[in-house]
């Protein structure tokens, strides 16, 4: 590409509003100019494990992600190359055989709870945003999402939250807030003032 993409990263705990913020930025900048990539697409392939073994995966730990592949894909996008992004099937807890072709765009938004934990990934970001949403709001959103969209039971979601999500947030997610260029202390990302971010991009 003649000009390298401007890469924005959005981190924050589960249910903090990262995707909503990414969608708002995309709308403001124009969908034809923005490529959105979720770190969740890059969960490691688990096709070699049994269903019972897959169910034990801690998806809130950095080891659950194939971050090296994401780094490789971003590097190729920066060079103007297209990449085949993996598709993760949350119902079967492993990667689908399908992929999605991604082509470079002027702005790339990368969002996920752990996108600030890998130094190689951090070095590729032009702007780092952290959404700091209160714990109770995030828990309610997590319950609603997993029960309605993934079909999990209330007890399953609560158990996962107490044994994995909350401990991993405290150990890995919250400490990375220090790397952010901008921190939004908001409980509703639909009301965040986007002007500081838009000004930096433009």
Residue 25 within a domain: yes
- Helix (H) / strand (E) element for 69: namely helix 67-78
How many Å apart are CA 41 and CA 1, to the nearest integer?
25
Which pLDDT does position 192 carry in this prediction?
Answer: 83
How many Å apart are CA 202 and CA 155, to the nearest integer?
46
Residue 124 within a domain: yes
Note the pLDDT tens digit of each residue in 88-105.
Answer: 988 788 899 999 999 999
Residue 162 within a domain: yes
Full residue range of the structural domain in which residue 176 is found: 6-193
Residue 10 within a domain: yes
Q: Which CATH number goes with the domain that contains 102?
A: 3.40.50.300
Residue 72 within a domain: yes
In terms of Cβ atoms closer than 10 Å to its own Cβ (0-12, 13-18, 19+), residue 71 is: middle
Which pLDDT does position 187 carry in this prediction?
Answer: 67
Domain tally, the chain: 1
Residue 188 within a domain: yes
Positions in the chain short of pLDDT 50: 1-2
Which pLDDT does position 54 carry in this prediction?
Answer: 87
Which pLDDT does position 151 carry in this prediction?
Answer: 81
């Amino acid at each position: 590409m003649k000009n390298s993409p401007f890469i924005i990263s959005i981190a924050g705990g589960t249910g903090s509003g990262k995707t909503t913020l990414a969608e708002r930025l995309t709308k403001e900048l124009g969908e034809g100019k923005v490529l959105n990539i979720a770190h969740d697409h890059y969960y490691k392939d688990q096709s070699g494990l049994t269903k019972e073994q897959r169910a034990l995966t801690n998806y809130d730990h950095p080891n659950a992600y194939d971050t090296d592949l994401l780094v490789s894909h971003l590097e190729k996008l920066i060079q103007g190359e297209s990449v085949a992004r993996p598709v993760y099937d949350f119902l079967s807890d492993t990667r689908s055989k399908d992929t999605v072709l991604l082509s470079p765009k002027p702005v790339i938004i990368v969002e996920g709870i752990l996108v600030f934990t890998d130094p190689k990934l951090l070095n590729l970001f032009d702007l780092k945003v952290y959404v700091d949403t209160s714990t109770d709001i995030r828990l309610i959103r997590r319950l609603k999402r997993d029960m309605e969209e993934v079909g999990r039971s209330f007890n399953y979601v609560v158990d996962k939250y107490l044994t994995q999500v909350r401990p991993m947030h405290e150990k890995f997610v919250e400490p990375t807030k220090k790397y952010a260029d901008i921190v939004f202390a908001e409980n509703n990302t639909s009301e965040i003032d986007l002007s500081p971010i838009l000004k930096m991009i433009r």
